[in-house]
Amino acid sequence: MTLDAARAGELDASEMRVTAETLRLQAEVALASGRVQLAENLERAAELAGLGDDELLAVYTALRPGRSTAEELERWAERLAEQNAPRNATFVREALVAYRERSLLADG
Protein backbone atom coordinates (compact mmCIF):
# COMPACT_ATOMS: atom_id res chain seq x y z
CA MET A 1 0.00 0.00 0.00
CA THR A 2 2.19 2.81 -1.32
CA LEU A 3 1.80 5.83 -3.55
CA ASP A 4 3.96 4.06 -6.13
CA ALA A 5 1.57 1.12 -6.16
CA ALA A 6 -1.34 3.52 -6.54
CA ARG A 7 0.37 5.24 -9.48
CA ALA A 8 0.92 1.87 -11.10
CA GLY A 9 -2.79 1.11 -10.75
CA GLU A 10 -2.09 -1.84 -8.50
CA LEU A 11 -4.49 -0.74 -5.78
CA ASP A 12 -8.22 -1.17 -5.80
CA ALA A 13 -10.19 1.14 -3.54
CA SER A 14 -12.58 -1.64 -2.61
CA GLU A 15 -9.71 -3.73 -1.20
CA MET A 16 -8.45 -0.97 1.04
CA ARG A 17 -10.30 -2.07 4.11
CA VAL A 18 -9.48 -3.78 7.31
CA THR A 19 -9.76 -7.56 7.18
CA ALA A 20 -11.45 -9.89 9.62
CA GLU A 21 -8.04 -11.37 10.48
CA THR A 22 -6.63 -7.97 11.38
CA LEU A 23 -9.63 -7.20 13.53
CA ARG A 24 -9.20 -10.51 15.36
CA LEU A 25 -5.55 -9.66 15.94
CA GLN A 26 -6.58 -6.27 17.33
CA ALA A 27 -9.09 -8.07 19.55
CA GLU A 28 -6.24 -10.20 20.90
CA VAL A 29 -4.19 -7.09 21.62
CA ALA A 30 -7.14 -5.52 23.44
CA LEU A 31 -7.72 -8.66 25.47
CA ALA A 32 -4.04 -8.93 26.37
CA SER A 33 -4.22 -5.41 27.77
CA GLY A 34 -7.24 -6.37 29.88
CA ARG A 35 -9.93 -4.74 27.75
CA VAL A 36 -12.51 -7.50 27.64
CA GLN A 37 -15.40 -5.54 26.16
CA LEU A 38 -13.26 -3.79 23.55
CA ALA A 39 -11.96 -7.20 22.52
CA GLU A 40 -15.51 -8.51 22.29
CA ASN A 41 -16.52 -5.53 20.16
CA LEU A 42 -13.59 -6.12 17.81
CA GLU A 43 -14.52 -9.81 17.56
CA ARG A 44 -18.04 -8.79 16.56
CA ALA A 45 -16.50 -6.33 14.09
CA ALA A 46 -14.36 -9.12 12.62
CA GLU A 47 -17.52 -11.10 11.95
CA LEU A 48 -19.12 -8.06 10.28
CA ALA A 49 -16.13 -7.24 8.07
CA GLY A 50 -17.42 -9.40 5.25
CA LEU A 51 -21.03 -8.17 5.35
CA GLY A 52 -22.28 -5.60 2.89
CA ASP A 53 -22.96 -2.02 3.97
CA ASP A 54 -26.68 -2.30 3.33
CA GLU A 55 -26.95 -5.42 5.41
CA LEU A 56 -25.03 -3.84 8.29
CA LEU A 57 -27.32 -0.85 8.30
CA ALA A 58 -30.37 -3.08 8.01
CA VAL A 59 -29.36 -4.99 11.15
CA TYR A 60 -28.68 -1.71 12.93
CA THR A 61 -32.11 -0.40 11.96
CA ALA A 62 -33.76 -3.65 13.05
CA LEU A 63 -32.16 -3.24 16.49
CA ARG A 64 -33.54 0.28 16.97
CA PRO A 65 -36.46 0.52 19.40
CA GLY A 66 -39.87 -0.50 18.12
CA ARG A 67 -38.61 -1.44 14.66
CA SER A 68 -38.77 -5.22 14.65
CA THR A 69 -41.04 -7.96 15.79
CA ALA A 70 -39.57 -10.84 17.76
CA GLU A 71 -39.76 -12.97 14.62
CA GLU A 72 -37.88 -10.40 12.57
CA LEU A 73 -35.08 -10.16 15.11
CA GLU A 74 -34.89 -13.94 15.28
CA ARG A 75 -34.60 -14.05 11.48
CA TRP A 76 -31.74 -11.54 11.59
CA ALA A 77 -30.04 -13.67 14.23
CA GLU A 78 -30.38 -16.75 12.05
CA ARG A 79 -29.09 -14.90 9.03
CA LEU A 80 -26.05 -13.65 10.97
CA ALA A 81 -25.37 -17.12 12.25
CA GLU A 82 -25.48 -18.42 8.66
CA GLN A 83 -22.92 -15.81 7.63
CA ASN A 84 -20.30 -16.87 10.15
CA ALA A 85 -21.31 -14.17 12.60
CA PRO A 86 -22.27 -16.24 15.67
CA ARG A 87 -21.35 -13.58 18.20
CA ASN A 88 -23.55 -11.07 16.45
CA ALA A 89 -26.34 -13.63 16.24
CA THR A 90 -26.15 -14.14 19.99
CA PHE A 91 -26.04 -10.37 20.44
CA VAL A 92 -29.27 -9.92 18.46
CA ARG A 93 -30.98 -12.73 20.40
CA GLU A 94 -29.97 -11.08 23.68
CA ALA A 95 -31.53 -7.85 22.44
CA LEU A 96 -34.67 -9.75 21.49
CA VAL A 97 -35.10 -11.06 25.05
CA ALA A 98 -34.48 -7.63 26.58
CA TYR A 99 -36.77 -5.88 24.09
CA ARG A 100 -39.58 -8.33 24.78
CA GLU A 101 -39.34 -7.60 28.52
CA ARG A 102 -39.15 -3.84 27.98
CA SER A 103 -41.79 -3.44 25.25
CA LEU A 104 -39.23 -2.36 22.69
CA LEU A 105 -40.48 -4.68 19.95
CA ALA A 106 -42.66 -3.52 17.06
CA ASP A 107 -45.45 -5.77 18.21
CA GLY A 108 -45.17 -4.58 21.80
Partner 1 sequence: MVESSKRFEARAGSELRRELLVEPWPELGLVAANGPADPSPELVVEDGVVTRLDGRAAVDFDVIDRFLVAHGLDLEVAEEAMALPDVRLARMLVDIDVPRAELVRLARGLTPAKLARVAGMLDPVELMMALKKLRARRDPGNQAHVTNLKESPALLAADAAEAARRGFDELETTVGVARYAPLNALALLVGSQTGRPGVMTQCAVEERRNLELAIRGLVTYAETLSVYGTEPVFADGDDTPWSKAFLGSAYASRGVKVRFTSGTGSEALMGFAQGHSMLYLEARCVSVVRAAGAQGVQNGSISCVALVLAVPGGTRAILAENVLAAWLDLEVASGNDAISSHSAIRKTAKLMGQFLPGTDFVTSGYSVMPRRDNTFGGGNYDADDIDEWLTIQRDWQVDGGIEPVAEDEVLRVRERAARAVQAVYAELGLPPVTDDEIEVATGGHSSADMPDRDRAADVEAADDLLARGVSALDVALALDRRGFVDVAEAVVGMLRQRIAADYLQTSAVIEPDGLVRSAVNDPNAYLGPGTGYRLEGERWELLQALPHVVDPRTLGSETGAAAAIVEHGAVAVRGDDPGEVVVALGPAFADGLRETINGLPHEAVLDAVLEGVRDAGGTPRLVRIRRAADVAFIAHDGAVLSGSGVALGLQSKGTAVIHRADLQPLDNLELFGMSPLYTLESYRAMGRNASGYALGQRVGPVPTELDNFARAKLIVRTTLLHAREAAAVVPNAPPVDVERLNP
Binding track, positions 59-98, relative to partner 1; x by CB under 8 A: xx--xxxx---------------------x--xx-xx--x
How far CA 90 is from CA of 42, 45, 78, 80, 84, in Å, comes to 15, 14, 9, 9, 12
Task: Decide if residue 13 touches partner 1 (CB under 8 A).
Answer: yes
Alpha carbons within 13 angstroms on the beta-carbon side of residue 105 total 18
How far CA 32 is from CA of 21, 39, 73, 79, in Å, comes to 17, 9, 33, 31
Task: Decide if residue 22 touches partner 1 (CB under 8 A).
Answer: yes
Of the candidates 51, 48, 77, the one whose C-alpha atom is nearest the C-alpha of residue 62 is 77
Minimum distance from CB of 32 to partner 1 (Å)? 9
Where on the chain is the footprint of partner 1 (CB under 8 A)?
Answer: 1-3, 6-7, 11, 13, 16-19, 22-23, 26, 29-30, 33-42, 44-49, 51, 53, 56-57, 59-60, 63-66, 88, 91-92, 94-95, 98-99, 101-102, 104
